[in-house]
Amino acid sequence: MNNLLETPIEYLKGVGPQRGELLRKELQIFKYSDLLNLYPNRYIDRTRYYKINQLVDSASEVQIIGKIIHIKTVEFGKGKKRLSATFVDETGQMELVWFQGIKWIRENVKINVPYVLFGKINSFNGTFSMAHPEMELLEEHKASLRSAMQPIYPSTEKLNSKGISNKVVIKMMQQLFVETHVLFAETLPTYLVEELQLLPKHLAMFNIHFPKSQELLSKAQFRLKFEELFFIQLQLISKNLIRKHKIKGHPFDKVGDYFSTMYTHYLPFELTNAQKKVIKEIRNDLGSNAQMNRLLQGDVGSGKTIVALMSMLIALDNGFQACLMAPTEILAAQHFNGILELAKPLNINIKLLTGSTKSSERKIIHQELEEGRLHIIIGTHALLEDKVKFHNLGLAIIDEQHRFGVEQRSKLWHKNTIPPHILVMTATPIPRTLAMSLYGDLDISVIDELPPGRKPILTVHRYDSNRLKVWKFIRDEIEKGRQIYIVYPLIQESEKMDYKDLMDGYESISRDFPLPKYAVSIVHGQMKPSDKDEEMRRFSEGKTNIMVATTVIEVGVNVPNASVMIIESAERFGLSQLHQLRGRVGRGAEQSYCILMTGNKLSNESKTRLETMCKTNDGFEIAEVDLKLRGPGDIMGTQQSGVLNLQIADLIKDKDILQLARYHAIQLLKKDPGMEKPEHQKLREVFIALGKKKNIWNYIS
C-alpha cells in the first residue's frame, strides 16, 4: 500500500504534468500521500435539502431538489446576455441565472429532469434566485462517492485562476480513493485503538475527506489528531529515554560541605516550597548515572539564581567545576554579582568572562580553569571559545537558552570527555502544551511561587490624555525616595509611525523633571557599552531618579529601589515583552506599579494584551494568552517554528488530546522501550520511517 502512496501526483487520473506542477508549487503536493494529507479547512453541511417555500434571505449556501421547466437567453445592456431558467419543486418556483458559459449550459441542461442544486440564495422583490448554481442530476447525486458534509480544501489564488477549484480537488480526492482502494494499514496498536475507542485508520481517512455525518467527522478528526501528536510524543520521549540510557553522566553521589553549609547557615531567606522541590529534582538527576538535561522555568523574580547556585555547589562538593552562560554581558554580570554576593562566606573562586574582559585577566582565568583552581565561571558566548578549557566541567547552566543555537550548546558538551550535566533556565514561561511539544525531550521543573515578602505589582492602563496625573504620581513616588523606569519602543522616529521618539521623550521628561531637583538617565541600543554601563550604574546606585530606556533593560538590571515601570506606546509590545519589562520592578519590599500608556486607537488584540496584563501577574497565564494570540511558531522564534508543521492537530485547541497522547506514549515506552513486542511491530515501522523524514511528522499513513 505504501508504495502506491509514493506515486508522483501527476500520474493520478485527472492531474497530469501541468496541474502536477501547480500542486507542487502552490501546496507542496508531490505524491499521492501528500494529497491524502491535504485535510479540509472546513465542511459545508449537505445533509439538508430545502424546499423552495422554506428559503430565507441569508448569505448561506443551500441545497434544493427540483426541475427546470423553462430556459431562455435574456439581453441586457450593450450586447450583454444572460441565461435565465425557471426552477420548480412541489412548493414553489425560483430563478436560476448564468452570466458565463451560456452556450454550454443551454446545450447540456436537461428540461423536466430532477436535479440537485447547490449555491447561495439571493432575494429580490420576494422572488428567490441563485446565480451559477452547482448542478447534479439526482440519480448521479445518489450514486456518487460523496459525503453529506462537503469538504472545503486549502487553496491559493493561483490554483483558482488556473481552474483548480475546490470541486476539482474533490474530484482528485475521489479518484485517489478509487485508485488506492482505501487500503490504509492500521498504524496504532490494536489495544490502544480499542481502549480509546478510536476509529480504525481506513475509516478515519475516508471520513476526514468524505464524512458520512457530523459524528463520524469528529471521530475521524479526533483519531488523526491523536495519532499525529502521539507519534511526536513517542519521538521526544524515546529520545529522552535513549539519552538517559546511553549518555552517562558524572554521578554526583554526595551532598557535601559547600551545599550543607550554604543551606544551613547562609541562605539570605527561607526557600519557597517550589524552590525546595526543584532543588530536590535536580539532586536526584545529578545523583543518577545519566546525564541531567533539565529545563527550569521560573517567572521573573522567582529565585532561579539561588537554585542555580545550590546546583553548582553540588558539583563543587563532588570535585567538579561549574559554569553559567547567559546571552548578554549585562545578564552575565548580574548573575555574577548575585552569585558572588550569595557565596561570599564560602570562600569559592568565582570569575566572570565576557567579550570585554581584559586580556591580562583572561590569561589568569584560562590558567586557573585548566588547573582546576577556578570553581565557578560565569560568562557569555566567550565561554565557548576553544581557548577556554576546563579541568573537569561537571555542570553547565544555560540561561535563556532560546537565544543560543544548538551548535553553541554542543560546544559546551565537548569541553569534557564525559558531557557535563545540563540545566537550562528560562524566565519566559512556556505554556505547558508548547513545552510538552518542543522540550518533550527535556525534564521540566517549574518554580511557580514568588519569594515571601514580594507584593504583587499593580498594573494599570492609562491613555496619553491622563499623562498629567501620571506625572504627578511619579513626583509623589520620587518624594518617597523611589526610582522610575520609562520605556519606549523606538530609538528613532520612523517615518510611518508617529510614536513618541525616545529622544523627544527624554527631552520632555528632562524639562518636566529638571535638575537639580531630579536627575534622569538614558540608555538605548546605539550607545557604547561603556556609556550604557555607566548610566545603568548611576541609576542602580540611586544617583538618578528616572531611567529613560528602550527595551535594552528587558533583561538585566536589578534595582530593588525602582518601584514604577512606565511603558510608553504599550500597544506596540508583545505580551511576553510587557511581562518581562514589568518584572524589572517589584524586587524590593515596597508596593510597585506598572503603568501601560497608549493612544486612544487600539486594535482588539492590543486591548486583549493590555487587559491580560492588568488582570494577572502570572507568567504562565500570560503565556497561554500569548500562545492563543500569536500561535506556536512566533513564540519560539522562527528557528524552531518548523518543528510544529502540524497537519491536522492544533496545539492550542487540542491540548487535551496532546496530554492524552503524551500519557499513552509514556505508558507504551515504559512497558516496551524499543517497541519490539509483536503488537508494536507496525508502530515501530512507522516510527522508523518518520525518523528518516526531515520534517518528522509528515505522512503517517
pLDDT tens per residue, range 285-296: 999 888 898 989
* pTM of the complete model beyond 0.85: no
Sequence-separated (6 or more) residues with CB below 8 Å from residue 529: 329, 356
Choose among 535, 532, 534, 583: nearest CA to 562.
583
CA dihedral 345, 347, 349, 351 (to 10 degrees): 20
Task: Give mean pLDDT, residues 223-232.
Answer: 93
pLDDT tens per residue, range 182-222: 678 899 999 999 999 999 999 999 999 998 888 898 999 99
End-to-end CA distance of the chain: 9
Choose among 264, 369, 282, 277: nearest CA to 323.
369
SS3 call for 691: helix
For residue 182, the model assigns a pLDDT of 62
pLDDT tens per residue, range 422-481: 998 987 777 776 777 666 677 888 888 877 777 889 999 999 999 999 999 999 999 999
DSSP 600: S
Task: Give mean pLDDT, residues 358-364.
Answer: 95
For residue 426, the model assigns a pLDDT of 84
pLDDT tens per residue, range 367-412: 999 999 999 999 998 999 989 999 999 999 998 766 555 566 667 7
**CA atoms of 445 and 172, how far apart (whole Å):** 49
Q: Give the DSSP per-residue string, 390-456.
A: -S-EEEEEEESGGGS-HHHHHHHHTTSSSPPEEEEEESS---HHHHHHHSTTSEEEEE-SPPTTPPP
When pLDDT is cut at 50, 70 and 90, the band that residue 321 belongs to is very high
Query: Could you tell me the three cell numbers for 629?
Result: 494570540
Considering the chain, what percentage of its residues have pLDDT values greater than 90? 53
Task: Give mean pLDDT, residues 107-129.
Answer: 90
For residue 262, the model assigns a pLDDT of 96
197 φ, ψ (degrees, to nearest 5): 50, 50
When pLDDT is cut at 50, 70 and 90, the band that residue 638 belongs to is very low
Considering the chain, what percentage of its residues have pLDDT values greater than 70? 90
Host H or E run for residue 24: helix 16-27
For residue 632, the model assigns a pLDDT of 60
For residue 13, the model assigns a pLDDT of 93
**Residues β-bridged to residue 136:** 116
Residue 496 has pLDDT above 50, yes or no: no
**Residues β-bridged to residue 462:** 597
Residue 628 has pLDDT above 90, yes or no: no
